[in-house]
Amino acid sequence: MAGKLAVIGAGLMGSGIAQVSAQAGWDVVLRDVTDAALARGTDGIKASYDKFVSKGKLSAQDAEAALGRITTTTDLDAVADADIVVEAVFEKLEVKHEIFRALDKIVREDAVLASNTSAIPITKIAAVTERPERVVGAHFFSPVPMMQLCELVRGYKTSDETLATTREFAESVGKTCIVVNRDVAGFVTTRLISALVVEAAKLYESGVATAEDIDIACKLGFGHAMGPLATADLTGVDILLHATSNIYTESQDEKFAPPELMRRMVDAGDIGRKSGQGFYKH
């Protein structure tokens, strides 16, 4: 399966989705609001392809051909003829609503509108469109070229056909899919990591164990590739605080209530690898 894909948002996630899709033979339109954002996204894609070529995992010709399948634009109307649109913008419902309202008027009736959200209910996003049955969650993982999982989320009105088309697309770009049949905030993966990070942060905050020892416990005791506090630093303490707060607001389940320590870390700018300090110094 290959066709025309539109990706809205050229950040880390959007550019990663564009990269794997172009490599799999999809014609990709990558859209962002500024030329600078698009340039950053395409520079990242080129650098990633170059790395795969240098490691012998991709031929120079295939990398060049894949790059040739990606076009960039600041014009949302340019996505009008896409078979599938994947939105990968900031995790704020108002921002996503703005995008989906516009897409609803622009794209073909039979197009699939997918969101890469990791925590916002798909039903809420779909509600602003006239075609909620064509809206679905397609939650990819970072870094997209390396991570094999795609979490497919069925909104309250998502049709079987939409889910099947999205699964076919995700599998065509090399991903293994899990299906979330009930549209709960945080789905499966964000709920699991949020519960683990919240509990790990509470244990650390109350002096039960060091960050290192909590992470070693998860790696050696449970076979995790990376401990929860190191994961928080990699993902961004601010991103996880936002996600856990979203889930807590929706579910009112105390296990998702982020500890005060995470809020203070974000207030202080200690948000992980990108700031040089989180639960660890980087």
Whole-number pLDDT of residue 246: 87
- pLDDT bracket for residue 91 (50, 70, 90): confident
Residue whose entry in the numeric block shows the structure tokens 């960039």: 72
- pLDDT bracket for residue 159 (50, 70, 90): very high
Question: Left, alpha or beta for 186 (phi > 0: left; psi -120 to 50: alpha)?
Answer: left
Q: Which pLDDT tens digit goes with each residue over 100-139?
A: 999 999 999 999 999 999 888 999 999 999 999 999 999 9
Residue whose entry in the numeric block shows the structure tokens 């014009």: 75
Share the mean pLDDT of the chain.
Answer: 96
By CB atoms closer than 10 A (0-12, 13-18, 19+), residue 106 is middle
Q: Which pLDDT tens digit goes with each residue over 196-253?
A: 999 999 999 999 999 999 999 999 999 999 999 999 999 899 999 988 998 999 899 9
Q: What is the 3-state secondary structure (H, E, C) of 62-74?
A: HHHHHHHCEEEEC
Whole-number pLDDT of residue 2: 76
Print burial letters for 245-261: b (CB count within 10 Å at least 16), e (below 16): bbbbebeeeeebebbee
Q: Which pLDDT tens digit goes with each residue over 48-63?
A: 999 999 999 999 999 9
Reply yes or no on whether the pLDDT at 185 is more than 90. Answer: no
Contact 5, 19 (CB under 8 A): no
pLDDT above 90: percentage of residues in the chain: 93
